[in-house]
Structure 1
Amino acid sequence: MKTRTLKKDKVNIITMGCSKNLVDSEVLLSQLKGNGIDASHESNEKDNNIVIINTCGFIENAKQESIDTILTYADAKDRGLVDKVYVTGCLSQRYKDDLEAEIPQVDAFFGTRDLPALLKKFKADYKHELVGERLLSHSSHYAYMKISEGCDRPCSFCAIPLMRGGHISRPIEELVKEARHKASQGTKELLLIAQDSTYYGLDLYQKRKLADLMQALAEVDGIEWVRLHYAYPTGFPMDVIDVMASHPNICNYLDIPLQHGSSKVLKTMRRGTTREKQETLIHSIRDRIPEIAIRTTLITGHPGEGEKEFEEMLSFVERMRFERLGVFTYSHEDGTHAFGMEDTISEKEKQERADRIMEIQENISLEHNQKKIGNTYKVLIDKKESGHFVGRTEFDSVEVDNEVLIDAKKHFCRIGDFVEVKVTDATAFDLYGECKESQ
């Protein structure tokens, strides 16, 4: 008999992909621990005998990374290093039958909404009393809050509805309860996430209720920042901007993926809008909140994007001068509407186009940042790294945006504290500053 079988099971959860997956993993961690099971998230210890891999299936690179991770732990099981391997999440939802056939070492595969079934493998029950009280996998001063699940949009390139299903909003009272619990645990920033945050409430309340939700969350004691992500531009509810402008603890920040700057490609993408409408929307938002930081994402190489359409997107980026911008290359995903279109642009060309956009954006970002030199900002300290305390302004989200670096030899900051920082220097994607008062 192996010595391992005499030991109590220890579970390690591995998360691939986006912040929405991270929230799912945190919910799973909370449920396991709530059932008395020894579990951790991405532990570096080698004493975990059960592994749960929460996979991503969004684009080709993410799928391959998830598959490679599954194969790594399947090999570990073959070598007796772990006893059981479970796989959940988007990739498992979408390709369960194929994965079961190709990787038989995995003990079971689960979809994106199969948490109760996964818990049964541990003789555990889903505890409704733990809803809103999930354990965080990172520092507690910020927390992602998933306000809805799934998506009803018909975007040509996106496989999310295939993996996550239709849109389901969480009730406002449930989210407020979660926010209060998080605040009691030291959380100061809530990052609102969803597949489509501006659709929030249509299923539950028969009208868009994102502004009402944001107002309710802004009124929770202890929450100093509320940050909005993944706002769909078509039918954007402008009352959200009014609420943002009226509450100082709602960050002047908007993550609004626009995906392209050509009306022809936007039509092919089935986005329900045009370049002209997108530009009008951005101008309207900036008119109401001139200091707002707008983050967007774009896709290069979608079917129908010729050189003319790509040049239109370059011109769009130059004119709109987004404060934050990221670029994906188009991934030809089976099951999506665009999969029936011919993918004629090479991966090399897609990447070269992405690089050209980012060259323009780097100069725009540098100009934006240099204007901040000499100004003082409220900064939330996230970590200490490479001789600096690293934080963010209200204009920057976790991991994807600019950071503020403070020389740790000159200043001491506590992780999770807000400090006033005067910007002394700037690069394209980072600010350097001095604390007005050392902490």
Structure 2
Amino acid sequence: MKKIGCISLGCPKNRLDSEIMLGLLHNAGYRIVPEEEAEILIVNTCGFIQEAKEEAIQTTLEAAHYKGSGTCQFLIMAGCFSQRYVSELIDELPEVDLFIGLDDVPQIVEICQRLEQGNPQKPARISAMLAGIRPSHYLYDQHTPRFHLGAGHSVYVKIAEGCRYQCAFCAIPMIRGRLRSRPMDSIVAEVTSLAAQGVKEINLIAQDTTSYGIDFAGKPMIMPLLERLIVIDDLPWIRLMYAYPTNLDLSLMRLMAASDRICTYLDLPLQHIDNDILSQMRRAITETQTRALVEQLRIEIPGLTLRTSFITGFPGETEAAFEKLMRFVQEVEFDRMGVFTYSPEDGTLAYNFPNQIPREVAEERRQQLMEIQAEISRKKHQTLVGTVQTVLIDGESEETPLLLEGRMEGQAPEIDGVVYINEGNTTRGTFEQVLITEAFPYDLVGKIVAETENL
């Protein structure tokens, strides 16, 4: 069997698709190797915004160099970018041997085998599944093998695919389809198996985790799901990502507060605060409702780490609307925040909206918000200096092997900062008590002061 490599771009949901493809290939006897050693190389792309598209093309062109200078014989493009733009890409990227879509994920073994076998005639460069070009409908289950990328003690579990909303700026429903929730028993079985394998942190993901179950139950079922997950043995941290603001009710908040298994952390993309912009975005919430929700979350969940994200430069965003957003960020003081510039996506409602904002203006506004948030984060982190925090150790630092790094309960993997540890020895996947000694806007520094039992 040939050696397989995969370059995974984009969000954790896309990375999970990469893990499934590699898991299927590994089970079929393929060797999983670094990209430079691969004979078949898969680039799993993101196509959500313009920057992601540019990264997908650049990464694919860089990967194509391995066909001339390395061992690579076949280059496959997968993922959202391939799903969405295959008709244009087939001419623009002759370096790619095969374009596959999201519904090709479970067929990746057969796809690679057909590539190896070759075709006496000119082979098709688009998979039969992708040739139909329609939103994805695939959804994995607990029996689907995965080859975990990254730390094995922290794992993403996708509870649903697609989205039931039609936000004016977002192409996800066109790419990944409408909301499709996994059966609850399937999720519980997968998480139970992962906990038995020693996984310490489960990060629940979907396009909107709080809509989980609406498609099969007619109402959100995220709370019943969490109630079943928190009783699984040997599972210290369950983290809820990608929550939609209108689906957070009081009972869910109180469950999060009451359970020591559910991280006191919430990722709550708000996108904006100006009512006119929210209406144009087709977000089902107002400024008043947003402020009330944030206040209620902080009352009901003591110690909550609240993360959000905003979009600058949405069509029609006036200076007054942006100034309102800046004031909101200054007043509310989120613990974590990401900001994206608006990206005009063909096929979305906002693509043809009037009053498009120049890209340089949107970027300047993004930088202004991030500067405000950096100071907020620095002040919040400074209050932790001198305190002892429970930290999940991720291993050697990516910055230098002389440091360890880990994360507190309020730090999600990849998107938030880390705790750098410059004193003490331990192993990956353990929880340690760490004295915080230094604070920076996005990261902390500390030393291990005592070992803690596996929670």
User: Contact 2:82/2:99 (CA < 8 Å) preserved in 1?
Assistant: yes
CA 1:104–1:343 in 2, change beyond 3 Å: closer, same or farther? farther
**Counterpart in 2 of 1:9?**
2
**Counterpart in 2 of 1:401?**
416
The alpha-carbon deviation at position 422 of structure 1 amounts to: 2.0
Q: Measure the CA separation in 1 of the matches of 2:214 and 2:451.
A: 47
- Would you say 1:61 and 2:54 are equivalent positions? no
- Would you say 1:353 and 2:365 are equivalent positions? yes
Which of 149, 156, 160 is 1:144 aligned to?
156
**Counterpart in 1 of 2:129?**
none
CA 1:355–1:123 in 2, change beyond 3 Å: closer, same or farther? same
Cα offsets for 1:191-222 (capped at 9, x unmatched): 11110111100112222110111121121111
- Would you say 1:179 and 2:191 are equivalent positions? yes
Please, what TM-score do these two structures have when normalized by structure 1? Answer: 0.92
CA 1:353–1:123 in 2, change beyond 3 Å: closer, same or farther? same
- Would you say 1:370 and 2:382 are equivalent positions? yes
The alpha-carbon deviation at position 374 of structure 1 amounts to: 2.3
Q: Measure the CA separation in 2 of the matches of 1:411 and 1:322.
A: 31
CA 1:80–1:226 in 2, change beyond 3 Å: closer, same or farther? closer
The alpha-carbon deviation at position 343 of structure 1 amounts to: 5.5
- Would you say 1:388 and 2:400 are equivalent positions? no
**Counterpart in 1 of 2:32?**
39
Matches within 5 A, 1:267-416: 267-342=279-354, 344-385=356-397, 386=400, 387-407=402-422, 410-416=423-429
Which of 218, 222, 232 is 2:244 aligned to?
232
CA 1:170–1:114 in 2, change beyond 3 Å: closer, same or farther? same
Q: Measure the CA separation in 2 of the matches of 1:129 and 1:155.
A: 28
The alpha-carbon deviation at position 78 of structure 1 amounts to: 5.6
**Counterpart in 1 of 2:75?**
85
**Counterpart in 1 of 2:117?**
none
SS in 1 for 2:257: helix
Aligned residues: 425
- Would you say 1:73 and 2:66 are equivalent positions? no
Q: Which amino acid in the other structure matches residue 184 of structure 1?
A: A
User: 5+ residue gaps in structure 1?
Assistant: 1-7
User: Contact 1:90/1:163 (CA < 8 Å) preserved in 2?
Assistant: yes
Cα offsets for 1:294-316 (capped at 9, x unmatched): 00000100001010000010011
Percent identity, aligned pairs only?
40
Q: Which amino acid in the other structure matches residue 30 of structure 1?
A: G
SS in 2 for 1:114: helix
Please, what TM-score do these two structures have when normalized by structure 2? Answer: 0.89
The alpha-carbon deviation at position 372 of structure 1 amounts to: 1.5
Q: Measure the CA separation in 1 of the matches of 2:46 and 2:182.
A: 22
The alpha-carbon deviation at position 122 of structure 1 amounts to: 3.1
User: 5+ residue gaps in structure 2?
Assistant: 115-137
User: Contact 2:316/2:357 (CA < 8 Å) preserved in 1?
Assistant: no
More off after superposition, 293-302 vs 84-93: 84-93
SS in 1 for 2:394: strand
The alpha-carbon deviation at position 245 of structure 1 amounts to: 1.2
Q: Measure the CA separation in 1 of the matches of 2:142 and 2:370.
A: 43
User: Contact 2:24/2:145 (CA < 8 Å) preserved in 1?
Assistant: no
Which of 272, 275, 281 is 1:263 aligned to?
275
Q: Which amino acid in the other structure matches residue 419 of structure 1?
A: E
Q: Measure the CA separation in 2 of the matches of 1:56 and 1:164.
A: 12
Q: Measure the CA separation in 2 of the matches of 1:72 and 1:183.
A: 38
**Counterpart in 1 of 2:172?**
160
Q: Measure the CA separation in 2 of the matches of 1:434 and 1:210.
A: 37
User: Contact 2:339/2:366 (CA < 8 Å) preserved in 1?
Assistant: yes
Q: Which amino acid in the other structure matches residue 169 of structure 1?
A: S
**Counterpart in 2 of 1:425?**
438
**Counterpart in 2 of 1:210?**
222
Q: Measure the CA separation in 1 of the matches of 2:312 and 2:46.
A: 21
Q: Measure the CA separation in 1 of the matches of 2:31 and 2:71.
A: 18
The alpha-carbon deviation at position 145 of structure 1 amounts to: 0.8
**Counterpart in 2 of 1:97?**
87
Q: Measure the CA separation in 2 of the matches of 1:304 and 1:272.
A: 18
User: Contact 2:433/2:449 (CA < 8 Å) preserved in 1?
Assistant: yes
Matches within 5 A, 1:126-137: 131=143, 133-137=145-149
Q: Measure the CA separation in 1 of the matches of 2:416 and 2:32.
A: 31
Q: Measure the CA separation in 2 of the matches of 1:282 and 1:14.
A: 37
CA 1:80–1:358 in 2, change beyond 3 Å: closer, same or farther? closer
**Cα-Cα RMSD:** 1.9
Q: Measure the CA separation in 2 of the matches of 1:222 and 1:290.
A: 24
More off after superposition, 76-85 vs 271-280: 76-85
CA 1:75–1:158 in 2, change beyond 3 Å: closer, same or farther? same
CA 1:318–1:130 in 2, change beyond 3 Å: closer, same or farther? closer
Q: Which amino acid in the other structure matches residue 97 of structure 1?
A: S
Q: Which amino acid in the other structure matches residue 414 of structure 2?
A: E
User: Contact 1:294/1:324 (CA < 8 Å) preserved in 2?
Assistant: yes
**Counterpart in 1 of 2:102?**
112
Q: Measure the CA separation in 1 of the matches of 2:61 and 2:445.
A: 42
SS in 2 for 1:54: strand
**Counterpart in 1 of 2:39?**
49
User: Contact 2:26/2:147 (CA < 8 Å) preserved in 1?
Assistant: no
SS in 1 for 2:289: helix
**Counterpart in 2 of 1:5?**
none
CA 1:188–1:371 in 2, change beyond 3 Å: closer, same or farther? same
The alpha-carbon deviation at position 75 of structure 1 amounts to: 4.5
